[in-house]
Amino acid sequence: MLKIFYPCIAVDSIVDITKELLDKNQIKGLILDIDNTLVPNHVAEADENAVKWIETIKAEGYKMCIVSNASKKRVVRFNNKLQLYAGHRAMKPGTAAFK
Ligand SMILES: [Mg+2]
């Protein structure tokens, strides 16, 4: 994995990722996973918590996208409310989808 993508911050929930946290760490964008990141594993659609957080961070001007190993069908359905750039079958931890 490319070192630039190594995590240097860990939080319990996406809602702990705030404008203040991103600014303090000079983070300009987020590459998001779906399962066990935006929602618990196998939740089909983005829940209110995820939608609200993404809208908040998006409105602050941060770039976001989804990179998921899930199928196209799953990612498209999940992303329906979010309308983010989203890649499916990313073959993580491989780096091709990130590049
Ligand atoms: Mg995951």
Of 16, 13, 34, 33, which is closest to residue 25 (Cα–Cα)? 16
For residue 31, the CA-to-ligand 1 centroid distance in Å is 12
What pLDDT is stored for residue 34 in this prediction? 96
Residue 29 has pLDDT above 70, yes or no: yes
pTM: 0.90
pLDDT at 86 over 90: yes
Which structural domains are found in the chain, ordered by start?
A: 26-99 (3.40.50.1000)
Res 60: pLDDT: 96
CA of 25 to the centre of ligand 1 (A): 23
Residue 50 Cα to ligand 1 middle (Å): 14
- Per-residue confidence (pLDDT) for residue 1, from 0 to 100: 59
Query: Cα(60) to centroid of ligand 1, in Å?
Result: 25
Q: Render 44-98 in DSSP notation, one character per residue.
A: -S--HHHHHHHHHHHHTT-EEEEE-SS-HHHHHHHHTTT--EEE-S--TTSSTTT
pLDDT of 98 over the 90 cut: no
Dihedral sign, Cα of residue 32, residue 79, residue 98, residue 92:
positive
Residue 4 reports pLDDT greater than 80? no
Residues 32-82: tens digit of each pLDDT: 999 999 999 989 999 999 999 999 999 999 999 999 999 999 999 999 999
